């Protein structure tokens, strides 16, 4: 795979005006150079870095914009969630199948059902 990427990059460099092989190799070397501190930071997996605590979104009061901050929830699901209000509980929300059950399982820790606003 690396060889293939190298050849594709070399072809692009030649097409873009780096007509000499020496110029293309110099460009490739500068693109693949690793900065001194990067080797240590690359050793730490992304999962172990501290993350901000995800915000809990109330499905009975959240706006479309707030609902869209949830992963896998876009414009259409946001409007469907708002249209189906009010929800009595998380179980009530899940039972109505407003969003796919797989999506609900991924989101259930990031949502709450507050007082019924409408």
pLDDT in tens, 69-97: 999 999 999 999 999 999 999 999 999 99
Q: Are 64 and 108 part of one and the same domain?
A: yes
Q: Are 104 and 72 part of one and the same domain?
A: yes
Judge whether 43 lies within some domain. no
Q: How many domains does the chain have?
A: 2
User: The domain containing residue 92 runs over which residues?
Assistant: 57-112
CA distances from 3 to 6, 8, 9 (A): 5, 9, 10
| pTM attached to this predicted model | 0.55
Our measurement of the distance from residue 1's CA atom to the centroid of its chain's CA atoms, rounded to an integer in Å, reads 25
Q: Are 27 and 61 part of one and the same domain?
A: no
Q: What is the pLDDT of residue 115?
A: 82
pLDDT in tens, 25-63: 565 565 555 555 555 555 545 554 456 778 899 999 999
Residue 81 belongs to domain with CATH number: 1.10.150.320
């Amino acid at each position: 795979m690396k060889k293939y990427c190298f050849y594709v990059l070399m072809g692009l460099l030649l097409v873009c005006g780096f007509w000499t092989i020496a110029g293309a190799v110099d460009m490739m070397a500068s693109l693949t150079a690793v900065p001194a501190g990067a080797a240590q930071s690359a050793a730490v997996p992304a999962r172990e870095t501290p993350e901000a605590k995800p915000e809990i979104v109330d499905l009975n009061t959240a706006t479309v914009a707030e609902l869209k901050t949830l992963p896998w929830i876009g414009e259409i699901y946001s409007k469907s969630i708002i249209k189906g209000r009010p929800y009595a509980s998380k179980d009530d929300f899940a039972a109505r199948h407003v969003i796919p059950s797989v999506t609900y399982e991924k989101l259930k820790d990031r949502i709450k059902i507050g007082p019924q606003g409408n």
